[in-house]
Amino acid sequence: MTNPLAQPITLPCGVTISNRLGKSAMTEGLADKFDRPTERHNTLYKTWSNGGTGLQITGNVMVDRRYLERAGNVVLEDDKDLPLFEAWAKAGTSAGNQLWVQLSHPGRQCPKIVNKQPLSPSDIHLDLLGNFGKPKAMTEDNIQDVIQRFTRSAALVKKAGFTGLQIHCAHGYLFSQFLSPKINRRTDQWGGSLENRARIIRQTIQSVRNEVGASFPIAVKLNSADFQKGGFSLEDCVTVAGWLGEDGIDLLEISGGTYEQLSLMGVEPTEVRESTRKREAYFIEYAERIKTAAKIPLMITGGFRSRSVMEKAIANKEVDIIGLARPLCTQPDCSAQLIKGVIDKLDDYEQSLVLGKGFWGNNSSLNIIKAINNFGQVGFYYWQIIRLSEGLNPEPKLKVFRSFQRHIRNDFKLNMKRKFA
């Protein structure tokens, strides 16, 4: 019997993905001081390509140089450095897999060291560790400019030889901010009702589709919910998913959370049921409703670790593609091993990446302890990406405090290099 994970899948646009395993986007932080892709991107994505994943999605590539998620982001807003992107596309598809670019705009989630006054639907400040400036409420011209930037970048993605693209509408970035009634307080056509709050996404998809054509894959990454009172809800997600299906996207990826609610960092939302925890995938609880509404292939990312759980999810048609992220940092060839049945379970370092138990754990009463644990976990995986990009093996024995130190030091270096470029 064929392993369900090895089955190909054909998207509405006609493109076929060779198996049911997808690399979800992870920010790499590997761009040079001019926000360009480097040889390290090529090495990293060639490694993952050879690892057997049918679909790779890059870390967020920004559409506007003025607004980044962090220093080290790649920016694609014109064709002057297109040969560098062509090299990246070639390396990342060397094993015959798909490589899609995730296009993104951070909105208010732009660090102050990059831009002291970022853009957002409304001027609602992201007050998190003093890292973000108070945003400017976007004007009509700002909104139209963003739509055109996504469209222009999409054309360049196709021209460079990438095989598809994903529009980032999750994790608290700009389009996610528009969807959230907690952040979007506008009273014009871009705010208020869910239809208005989703308008910028739908118009962007339409504009991008007109630019790249019917046969080029367009995906969207969407939160199942923000897991915040007054934020984007599951009911909202189901409705928006239905609209996205009508708008002709080819794949919907579901994740969840924002910077303020750290489900995207592996810290589970309180709303996740015990049955879901046992089934591993954080957001699969919502898959049936979303699939029914959208009527397009669905990718779920977050929490998958056991081969049997992945195979069952595909065989039962709960999900069409299994999204993997962190495991690929320590096991870059895990997709091939899962498909061949060589391994039954993926690495899961999150539980051990803490300073200690109780007071020293993720639920410490002291915020500095929680911050070190959370950012240390993030830093652990960033460090594995850096090692892979340099052609080195992962370093899974790295401890959380050392990871935290390296993360802070590396981000400081990236910021300084870019600031004084």
Instruction: Kindly give the confidence (pLDDT) of every residue in the chain, 421 residues in length, as a single tens digit, with 9 standing for 90 and above.
Output: 689 999 999 999 999 999 999 999 999 999 999 999 999 999 999 999 999 999 999 999 999 999 999 999 999 999 999 999 999 999 999 999 999 999 999 999 999 999 999 999 999 999 877 789 999 999 999 999 999 999 999 999 999 999 999 999 999 999 999 999 999 999 999 999 999 999 999 999 999 999 999 999 999 999 987 777 778 888 999 999 999 999 999 999 998 655 444 433 334 433 444 444 455 666 777 788 899 999 999 999 988 999 999 999 999 999 999 999 999 999 999 999 999 999 999 988 888 899 999 999 888 889 889 889 988 999 999 999 999 999 999 999 999 999 999 999 999 999 999 988 8
Whole-number Å distance between alpha carbons of 224 and 241: 10
pLDDT at 230: 76
Measured in degrees and rounded to the nearest 5, phi and psi for residue 172 equal: 80, 5
C-alpha span between 389 and 391 (Å, rounded) = 6
pLDDT score, position 256: 61
Query: Which string of DSSP letters, residue by residue, matches 178-245?
Result: HH-TTT----STTSSSHHHHTHHHHHHHHHHHHHH-TTS-EEEEEES---STTS--HHHHHHHHHHHH
Pairing of strands 55-57, 21-23: parallel
The per-residue pLDDT for 257 is: 53
Nearest to 146 by CA among 102, 186, 201: 201
Q: What is the pTM of this model?
A: 0.94
Report pLDDT for 276. 45
pLDDT of residue 282: 67
pLDDT confidence of residue 277: 45
Q: How many CB atoms lie within 10 A of CB 323?
A: 25
CA dist list (Å): 76 to 151, 318, 421: 11, 35, 18
Structural domains of the chain sorted by starting position, each given as residue range(s) with its CATH number in brackets: 4-348 (3.20.20.70), 349-421 (no CATH)
